[in-house]
A = this chain, B = another copy of it.
Amino acid sequence: MIKITFLPDRKNIKVGKGTPVLEALERVGISIDTPCGGKGICGKCKILITKGINKITSIEEKLISEEEIRKGFRLACQTKVFEDSIIKIPLKIRLDFNKLFTSKLKGDIHNIKKSFSLESDLKKVFLDLEKPSLDDQRSDWERIKDRLSLMKIGNISNLKVPIEILKKIPNLIRKADFRVTVTILNNEVIDIESGNTTKSSYGIAFDIGTTTVVGYLVDLRTGEELSAVAKTNPQIIHGDDVISRIEFVQKQKDGLKKLQEEIVNTLNEIVRETTQRAGINKNNIYETVVVGNTCMHHLFLGLNPSNIAPSPYIPVIKESLSLKAKDIPELALDSIADIFTLPNISAFVGADIVGGVLSTSMWMEEKIVLFVDLGTNGEVVLGSKKKLWACSTAAGPAFEGARISSGMRAVEGAIDKVKITNKSVTWRIINNVKVKGLCGSGLIDLIAEMLKIGLINKSGKLINRENCQSEIGEEIKKRIIREIEGNKFILVKSDKAEGGEPIYLTQRDIREVQLAKAAIYAGIKILLKEVGIYPEDIQEILLAGAFGNFINKESARRIGLIPHLPLRRIRFIGNAAGKGAEIALLSKKMREVSQEMSKKVKYIELSSRPDFQEEFIKAMSF
């Protein structure tokens, strides 16, 4: 066994010789960003070995500069450890963005509350029972049931009691001197507690993203959100898109089991943290609603997602499911707590999109609304209360900061806003710390601004310094650097950036954005055709996604991500999926709505549309 110490955390772990660093990191609970899925393509997961020798692989030689190699930089995905080592994990590649992400959510949640009424089916009742005697030999369960009947609680003659509760009853009611609180959900007793606990009644909503998992702990009586916690989906170690997860299931022994374990462990951490923060007992969590894309939905449930990936793209189940916590192995909630998954629409339009649409009012409005969720897949929903159409495009993870030279997620240190004039460049950094990279909204801004002053032309070319328009000052011009693979634009110089590396945009980065925005725009175009309307018929565009605080609507429109409509018709709605999950948690009626709505959506399979490719190519230019 050898010892690895990770800095700056000072976390130690003993591992066998030859253990991959990625595995060791996973085991000590440090999440890092591996945009290419640890395949040695992107060169993003640079770590610094300060003690311990490591041979350089040919992949590392290609992706790390000579000077960095000399300093001790290696790629986490390539490195195996053969002796005691101390390894520094740069903040830049870390995914510890919990604090930022959740504080941001708080604001949104309060707005949702207004749009529907609480109508949980859950009832907690305090009972002060008669004690048994030779004249009253009712069984323990009859004693409880008769009292509930007297109090006219639920449909008593069909009231069910699971064996788990029956096992607890005899000792519990006697210790409690026959004063107990009974919890009833869907005509079944799901909890019995000593004394009066009628005020403790909680639920948790989970949004399981390919990259980020968020949990919202809610008081079911008041609808108040008590705490929210976001975690990186630990499956990211196997690759950053759903296809890589499905490959893992297919290729690895027990791959499905492993991925389910990983997601369940994360949910358990979220349960622990949210309940600790709120100071409540997790056994009082009675209801859970889960959303996620179809693949995450399947992995959470332990359903094999293998048939999602190849044509004709078939999920195991689309409809919503109601189950018990015990149906999910190792899920650390009371075994008979209720778990509800929102329905999926298709293999690539999942329960997260159903939640997202649910959180808007588009499913109940006359006007035509366009809903765009910008994730690794770009999902598009178009329509009104009469009918909805949906499609999914493989936009790629550019807007999440992956596959972009200086890209990063919308966390502390990311540039989320850029302004360029003829003479100057300014930007905003999340939490105003030293700059670490460029997140999705900053990337969109940057390209939009460069388009505006002609640094990028219609075809997407980053022009040469000498071809700039005459108004452009030297300050701007000198940021354009000519390189063999194409030009590069220096946004932040190396001396101003954390880690001493400049923040820049390459020609290749622009191409990535073009591919992403063209995919989404082409999807929108196909839906418009299917519905038989023109872009100007859209009365509202809703942009959803984990973009930090905002996305600049004008920039999004400028780069052609969405149709050119008046800005007042465009709205950024943040993490809509999570909001939808929370709404479904608080309202049984909204769960029914989600089921009906999901059935009404007509899914358009873009891969079977011969006109998609044409639209896609048309949409490539700016």
Q: List A residues at the B interface (Cβ < 8 Å).
A: 132-142, 161-163, 166-167, 169-171, 174, 301-304, 306-307, 311-319, 321, 323, 327, 344, 346-347, 603, 605, 607-608
Other contacts beyond A132-B312, A167-B304: 10, CB < 8 A: A137-B313, A139-B317, A140-B314, A140-B315, A163-B321, A163-B323, A166-B301, A166-B317, A170-B304, A170-B307
Query: Is B608 within 8 A of A134, CB to CB?
Result: yes
| From B133, B136, B171, B318, contact of A141 by CB (8 A) | B318
Minimum CB–CB distance for A334 against chain B, Å: 16
Given contacts A141-B319, A166-B301, A319-B142, contact A134 B605 (CB under 8 A): yes
Please measure, in the bound complex, the distance between the C-alpha atom of A314 and the C-alpha atom of B25, giving whole angstroms: 56
Residue of B nearest to A163 (CB): B327
Q: Which residues does chain B contribute within 8 Å of A306, judged by CB atoms? A: 170
Minimum CB–CB distance for A189 against chain B, Å: 12
Q: Which residues does chain B contribute within 8 Å of A141, judged by CB atoms? A: 316-319
Query: Is B316 within 8 A of A169, CB to CB?
Result: yes
Query: Is B312 within 8 A of A142, CB to CB?
Result: no
Q: Which residues does chain B contribute within 8 Å of A137, judged by CB atoms? A: 312-314, 346-347, 603, 605
Given contacts A307-B170, A311-B134, A312-B134, contact A318 B603 (CB under 8 A): no
Q: Which residues does chain B contribute within 8 Å of A314, judged by CB atoms? A: 132, 137-140, 170
Q: What are 6 contact pairs spanning A and B, CB under 8 A? A: A134-B311, A134-B312, A139-B318, A142-B317, A142-B319, A166-B316
Given contacts A137-B312, A170-B307, contact A163 B318 (CB under 8 A): no
Residue of B nearest to A301 (CB): B163
Q: Which residues does chain B contribute within 8 Å of A323, judged by CB atoms? A: 162-163
Please measure, in the bound complex, the distance between the C-alpha atom of A323 and the C-alpha atom of B167, giving whole angstroms: 14
Q: Which residues does chain B contribute within 8 Å of A301, judged by CB atoms? A: 163, 166
Query: Is A133 within 8 A of B319, CB to CB?
Result: no
Given contacts A132-B312, A134-B605, contact A304 B139 (CB under 8 A): no
Residue of B nearest to A136 (CB): B312
Please measure, in the bound complex, the distance between the C-alpha atom of A220 and the C-alpha atom of B319, giving whole angstroms: 32
Minimum CB–CB distance for A427 against chain B, Å: 44
Q: Which residues does chain B contribute within 8 Å of A347, judged by CB atoms? A: 137
Q: Quick one: which of A141, A171, A603 has the most chain B CB within 10 A?
A: A141
Minimum CB–CB distance for A354 against chain B, Å: 14
Please measure, in the bound complex, the distance between the C-alpha atom of A52 and the C-alpha atom of B312, giving whole angstroms: 73
| From B162, B166, B315, contact of A139 by CB (8 A) | B315
Q: Which residues does chain B contribute within 8 Å of A303, judged by CB atoms? A: 163, 166-167, 170
Query: Is B603 within 8 A of A316, CB to CB?
Result: no
Residue of B nearest to A140 (CB): B316
Q: Which residues does chain B contribute within 8 Å of A132, judged by CB atoms? A: 307, 312, 314
Please measure, in the bound complex, the distance between the C-alpha atom of A313 and the C-alpha atom of B134, giving whole angstroms: 8
Minimum CB–CB distance for A278 against chain B, Å: 29
Listed from nearest, the 9 A-B pairs whose CB atoms lie closest are A141-B317, A134-B608, A139-B315, A139-B318, A134-B312, A163-B327, A132-B314, A170-B304, A140-B316
Q: Which residues does chain B contribute within 8 Å of A344, judged by CB atoms? A: 139
Residue of B nearest to A302 (CB): B167
Given contacts A170-B304, A303-B170, A312-B133, contact A161 B605 (CB under 8 A): no
Query: Is A316 within 8 A of B139, CB to CB?
Result: yes
Residue of B nearest to A326 (CB): B326
Q: Quick one: which of A137, A171, A607 has the most chain B CB within 10 A?
A: A137
Please measure, in the bound complex, the distance between the C-alpha atom of A167 and the C-alpha atom of B301, giving whole angstroms: 8
Minimum CB–CB distance for A584 against chain B, Å: 19
Q: Which residues does chain B contribute within 8 Å of A161, judged by CB atoms? A: 317
Please measure, in the bound complex, the distance between the C-alpha atom of A464 and the C-alpha atom of B548, giving whole angstroms: 104
Please measure, in the bound complex, the distance between the C-alpha atom of A323 and the C-alpha atom of B163, giving whole angstroms: 8
Residue of B nearest to A343 (CB): B139
Minimum CB–CB distance for A251 against chain B, Å: 16
Given contacts A163-B302, A167-B302, contact A607 B317 (CB under 8 A): no
Minimum CB–CB distance for A568 against chain B, Å: 37
Q: Which residues does chain B contribute within 8 Å of A166, judged by CB atoms? A: 301, 303, 316-317, 321
Query: Is B316 within 8 A of A170, CB to CB?
Result: yes
Minimum CB–CB distance for A155 against chain B, Å: 15
Please measure, in the bound complex, the distance between the C-alpha atom of A138 and the C-alpha atom of B318, giving whole angstroms: 8
Given contacts A163-B302, A327-B163, contact A140 B170 (CB under 8 A): no
Minimum CB–CB distance for A411 against chain B, Å: 35
Minimum CB–CB distance for A75 against chain B, Å: 36
Please measure, in the bound complex, the distance between the C-alpha atom of A140 and the C-alpha atom of B344, giving whole angstroms: 13
Residue of B nearest to A169 (CB): B316
Residue of B nearest to A317 (CB): B141
Residue of B nearest to A145 (CB): B319
Please measure, in the bound complex, the distance between the C-alpha atom of A135 and the C-alpha atom of B313, giving whole angstroms: 11
Q: Which residues does chain B contribute within 8 Å of A605, judged by CB atoms? A: 134, 137
Please measure, in the bound complex, the distance between the C-alpha atom of A302 and the C-alpha atom of B168, giving whole angstroms: 10
Please measure, in the bound complex, the distance between the C-alpha atom of A166 and the C-alpha atom of B315, giving whole angstroms: 11
Please measure, in the bound complex, the distance between the C-alpha atom of A135 and the C-alpha atom of B140, giving whole angstroms: 57
Please measure, in the bound complex, the distance between the C-alpha atom of A138 and the C-alpha atom of B142, giving whole angstroms: 46
Please measure, in the bound complex, the distance between the C-alpha atom of A306 and the C-alpha atom of B306, giving whole angstroms: 50
Please measure, in the bound complex, the distance between the C-alpha atom of A141 and the C-alpha atom of B313, giving whole angstroms: 14
Minimum CB–CB distance for A25 against chain B, Å: 31
Please measure, in the bound complex, the distance between the C-alpha atom of A604 and the C-alpha atom of B506, giving whole angstroms: 90
Q: Which residues does chain B contribute within 8 Å of A346, judged by CB atoms? A: 137
Residue of B nearest to A164 (CB): B327
Please measure, in the bound complex, the distance between the C-alpha atom of A134 and the C-alpha atom of B141, giving whole angstroms: 53
Residue of B nearest to A314 (CB): B132
Minimum CB–CB distance for A606 against chain B, Å: 11
Please measure, in the bound complex, the distance between the C-alpha atom of A316 and the C-alpha atom of B137, giving whole angstroms: 11
